[in-house]
Structure 1
Amino acid sequence: MMVREPVVAGSFYPADEHDCRGSLDRCFDGVSAAVVDGRIVGGVLPHAGWMCSGRIVARVFATIAAQRSPRTVVLLGAVHRVKGWEGAIFANGRWDTPLGSIDIDQRLADRILSHTNAIVDDPYAHEPEHSIEVEVPFVQRTWPEAKLLPIMVPPSERAAEIGDAVGRTLASYGYDAVVLASSDLTHYGERYRFTPEGRDERGLDWAKSVNDRRVIDLMLAMDAKQIVPETTARRNACGGGAIAATIAACSAMGADRAVLVEHATSRETMGMMREMNAVGYAGLVFAASAALKVNE
């Protein structure tokens, strides 16, 4: 059995179980669920350190949990380390976190793999990556009985195809599942070697109000095919592949609307407005106006 151990516990979030639970409680403290018409089938989450983006992640989870308790959470992650054109699924075993273990939904993984050649079984692609790991304790806290299915999605022309295969599999078998993309938005400033609009407040304002907003508007329009070209050209999301795949998956599951739950930058969430570097964070959910028949 494959077991993935945490690699960023102690840096992105606490490594000690008690501290981890306390940090999660603080992320959720006072968080309100967004009002969403329709049945939520997926969403988008940031994946920075919890002190930076944890409350936005918590708000997305709270919004989904207000109406659903899925049996499986499919997490589509941004690819920062291992490169490739195909999706990489962790198809069996479990993931460990400071909160304990969460089982992989192997049956769902097998069904997805049988439906497409755009996804391969590659657990080793997940070893160095943080984009999915930082979300998993939120799953464990919110839905302790849920299973997990992690898939790394590169920003390739096959991203929407990957997501469509996931969504069609979930819909055809009537899975009680949600699909979540893990991605941050614009990384702006000298630290990130990205300052096209200057190294001052004007540039930082542009990063949030213009560059972030371009990709947010595509997400709100549920335009899966334009996400990867946009994020590649504009550098306004590190997980363009994951976002595109999630939109495609949710569309295949009947989603016809998107709701922006929250949008902020690291300067705002950390209360560091004098800082001249910033990362954008957005939380969204995708919902279907028609109910999806759930069998498993």
Structure 2
Amino acid sequence: MVRKAIFSGKFYPEKEEDLIKFIKQHTNGNAEYSEGYFKRLGLILPHAGYIFSGKTAIKAVEKARNIGKPKTIVIFGTNHTGYGEGICSVWDHGYWETPLGEIEIDEDFASRLVDNSNLFKVDYTAHFYEHSIEVLLPILKYFFGDFRMVPVVYNFQSLENSIQIIEKLMSIYVEKVLFVASSDLNHFENDKVTREKDLLLIKQILNRDIEGIFEIVKLHNISACGIGPISILVGMFEKIQLIEHTTSAEATGDYSYTVGYASFLLR
């Protein structure tokens, strides 16, 4: 089964040369990337249009590339569409298209997630019109080249579900894997409020407080869309580094109506 790049030309450049040009504009031109594989690494990345959040995602992925590269990327997106079945919808075979080439599904890893689990179900409907995974793939493809992936849309996000998902993932011992959580932060408030709310959430992330993440979001009405994916990665790694925090105001100049973006590297 093939997942077409339906947001190409909308959230990010459609042409390969334009895409590469954009990414290079926000990279360290003198970087020396490691040719080895890392054992396990995590990234939390934003998924808006590249003019808004692309540089924030690029900076974190390049940091990871300095460490090494993965053979498999497991990427957790959020659900903006309302489509999908089960707690998590897994795309389990075939490949996804990007302007930089196809990315093959790691069918073995996908089957291990779905096997005997009520957390993960094979379901394509959650993926067809969802942008939170697709938007990150060209950046990951540019830096990491050939890898396989497992796309997962986290449909029903809760503390209890996240704890079970973490336990499931930690029980599957694998190396040379990058785990990615896709999420933007606070939405559609003025820049001052968005930054204040974002910092409350960022503090809980850096403290590795999964329960605190869900509590602070509810207490302060923080409209981050991927709290579930974020919480999964926070629970899987011991060291978390904030790479960049920004808002859409830096791109648009509109400080009255903003979205927050942050990227993190986890080890």
Same fold at TM > 0.5: yes
What whole-Å deviation, never above 9, does each CA across 1:122-154 have from its counterpart, x for those lacking one?
122101100000000111111111111111113
CA contact (8 A) 1:32 1:59 kept: no
The match for 1:166 is: 169
Q: 1:274 to 1:131 in 2, by over 3 A?
A: closer
CA RMSD between the two structures: 2.2
Give, in whole Å, the separation in 2 of the partners of 1:107 and 1:188.
40
CA contact (8 A) 1:153 1:245 kept: no
What whole-Å deviation, never above 9, does each CA across 1:214-262 have from its counterpart, x for those lacking one?
11111111222333343355224111111112223x2xxxx21211111
| Cα displacement (A) at 1:213 | 1.0
SS at match of 1:131: helix
The match for 1:19 is: 18
CA contact (8 A) 2:4 2:96 kept: yes
| Cα displacement (A) at 1:188 | 2.7
CA contact (8 A) 1:72 1:146 kept: yes
SS at match of 1:260: strand
Aligned residue pairs, count: 258
| Cα displacement (A) at 1:100 | 1.6
CA contact (8 A) 1:40 1:64 kept: no
The match for 1:199 is: none
Task: Point out the more displaced range, 230-239 or 130-139.
Answer: 230-239
SS at match of 2:82: coil
SS at match of 2:115: helix
Q: 1:115 to 1:23 in 2, by over 3 A?
A: farther
What whole-Å deviation, never above 9, does each CA across 1:182-230 have from its counterpart, x for those lacking one?
10000133xxxxxxxxxxxxx521320x210111111111222333343
The match for 1:106 is: 107
The match for 2:226 is: 239
What percentage of residue pairs aligned between the two structures are identical? 29
Counterparts in 2 of 1:117-136, with a 5 A limit? 117-136=118-137
Q: Compute the TM-score of the two structures, normalised by the length of structure 1.
A: 0.80
Give, in whole Å, the separation in 1 of the partners of 2:185 and 2:169.
24
Unpaired segments ≥5 residues, structure 1 = 190-202, 288-296
Counterparts in 2 of 1:131-280, with a 5 A limit? 131-154=132-155, 155-156=157-158, 157-169=160-172, 172=173, 174-189=174-189, 203-208=190-195, 210-233=196-219, 234-248=221-235, 250=236, 255-268=237-250, 270=251, 272-280=252-260
CA contact (8 A) 1:72 1:177 kept: yes
What whole-Å deviation, never above 9, does each CA across 1:245-294 have from its counterpart, x for those lacking one?
2223x2xxxx21211111111112x1x4444111101011111xxxxxxx
Task: Point out the more displaced range, 45-54 or 24-33.
Answer: 24-33
| Cα displacement (A) at 1:32 | 7.7
Give, in whole Å, the separation in 2 of the partners of 1:187 and 1:225.
21
Task: Point out the more displaced range, 273-282 or 55-64.
Answer: 273-282
CA contact (8 A) 1:91 1:121 kept: yes
Counterparts in 2 of 1:17-56, with a 5 A limit? 17-28=16-27, 41-56=41-56
CA contact (8 A) 2:154 2:229 kept: yes
Unpaired segments ≥5 residues, structure 2 = 33-37
